[in-house]
Amino acid sequence: MSNLALAEIKELLKEQVRHFTPLSLQIKEIIFLKNTVMECEACGMGGLQVRPSCEPNPCHPGVQCSVTSQGVKCGSCPEGTEGNGTHCSDVDECSVLPCHMGVRCINTSPGFRCGSCPAGFSGPQVQGLGLAYARANKQVRVQT
């Protein structure tokens, strides 16, 4: 390779370096632009505080939502369910054996009900919501 060719290559490399911004400078520019956009109230990215709201309701259906100084607060789960108010799940009232022995307990969502008394027996068909109700209202059957 001749000295003239090397000189031309060197000149081309210098020209290329002048056209490219160093990576560190590009990163600084990107950070500056990002911060500018984040702080721009007109852009809707910063300066505006999002206030907690019950619309749309973040709580489980049927649970009261209220806005407090600490944010949104959900009330207690409905009877027959348990959870934190945001998420509520059915409790199994049949686990406390509210139905007479030999009578089927049907866990519904929410609540429970006892099946019919077997042949030769009679009694009320018990149904309700919640563990406290199931414990306090056991099915009684009487032989007929």
With b for 16 or more beta-carbon neighbours within 10 A and e for fewer, the 21-58 pattern comes to eeeeeeeeeeeeeeeeeeeeeeeeeeeeeeeeeeeeeb
CA dihedral 45, 49, 54, 57 (to 10 degrees): 20
Q: Are 133 and 126 in contact (CB under 8 A)?
A: no
Q: Among the CATH numbers 2.10.25.10, 1.10.600.10, 1.10.287.1770, 1.20.1560.10, which is that of 51-89?
A: 2.10.25.10
Q: How far apart are CA 12 and CA 33, in angstroms?
A: 32
- Residue ranges per structural domain of the chain: 3-39, 51-89, 91-143
What pTM was computed for the model? Answer: 0.56
Q: Is 137 exposed, middle or buried (0-12, 13-18, 19+ CB in 10 A)?
A: middle
CATH superfamily of this structure's domain 91-143: Laminin (2.10.25.10)
Residue-wise pLDDT for 16-74, tens only, equals 556 565 666 666 676 666 666 666 655 555 555 667 788 888 999 999 999 988 889 99
